[in-house]
Every structure is written in C-alpha cells, then in structure tokens.
Structure 1
C-alpha cells in the first residue's frame, strides 16, 4: 500500500493532529534514507 493510506485511516479515526505526525515521519524517514546511501 501507499504510505499516505495510513494517514487517511488515522484521520478517519482521529482528527487533523495526524497530519504533523505523518509529515514528521516522512521527513525523518527521508533523512535516514539519504544518510544510509
């Protein structure tokens, strides 16, 4: 599945507070991948 599908599921159950969490996850994930290679 796509990474954003879990954000939609979180927003259905929760509220808008999911957005900053997933943005931070994507940014940190990209930094980790860039540092590995």
Structure 2
C-alpha cells in the first residue's frame, strides 16, 4: 500500500472506469435516438 506508483495507477484506473460509466448512458441515449430516426 505505500507505493505511489500503484496508488497512481489505481486512481487512474478508477478515473477511466468512472468516465466510462458516465459516457455509457449518453452513448446508449444517442444510439436509441439514432435508431428511432
């Protein structure tokens, strides 16, 4: 646990997962909008 590199990579991974979780519903919304045209 006191390793700065592993801590940084863990935070980076969480940030990527968080941004994917935020962008996924928007992508689904655009997909539904595209299919409804």
Aligned pair count?
A: 24
Moved over 3 A (4+): none
Q: Select the structure with the greater relative contact order (CA < 8 A; seq sep ≥ 6).
A: 1
Root mean square deviation of aligned Cα: 1.2
**What stretches of structure 1 of length at least 5 have no aligned partner?**
1-10
Structure with max Cα Rg? 2
Structure with more of its chain in helix, by fraction: 2
TM-score, scaled to structure 1: 0.55
